[in-house]
Amino acid sequence: MAKDGQQAEPFDSGEAFRSVYLHMLEGVALHELVCDASGCPINYRILDVNPQYDQYIGIVASESVGKLATEAYGTPEPPFLAAFAAVALGGKSQRFEAYFAPFDRHYDISVVPFGARRFATIFLDISERKRSERALRESEWFLKRPARGTHRLVSIRHCAWHVDKLRCAQ
């Protein structure tokens, strides 16, 4: 029953999940593992992507859907194949952070299985956060470094003061 005592509209979970898929902040891609004749994973095909995929990956959906990962991403090896295959074949979800050099981007990636040899990737571009973390580490290193050699700086200033004093006395 709805709050106002009226009968609630029938719930359509497929429609609800489609709406979440289309409007979530994360990028999502659905994939199918491609295996060789012996059953070894060799690639994966991109089955579908949500609108945020374009923003985070930089490739429009029409240029990636239906293609093998190596074709879509222009790489000789399919990105993160071992991790993705482990999820698709093992059925256990995984989450990791990874740098993807061809796009010069860092990603936070969740991988979840669905169906036989299929998996979804849910991801965010965390490149800005990684740059900020690196800048902070470098700043901390820089701030700690002078502390070790400040006595030299004081000595140089002390000598300079004496030299100036001698010049004034002459």
Domain edges within the chain: 13-125, 130-170
What's the confidence (pLDDT) of residue 133?
86
Rounded to whole angstroms, the Cα distance separating 30 from 120 reads 4
What's the confidence (pLDDT) of residue 32?
98
Rounded to whole angstroms, the Cα distance separating 154 from 156 reads 5
Helices then strands, each counted (H, E), the chain: 5, 5
What's the confidence (pLDDT) of residue 43?
98
- 13-125 placed in CATH 3.30.70.270: no
Q: How many CB atoms lie within 10 A of CB 107?
A: 22
Mean pLDDT across 5-23:
84
Mean pLDDT across 109-118:
96
pLDDT, averaged across the chain = 85
Global confidence as pTM: 0.74
Which of these ranges, 24-38, 43-57, 85-99, 132-146, has the smallest mean pLDDT?
A: 132-146
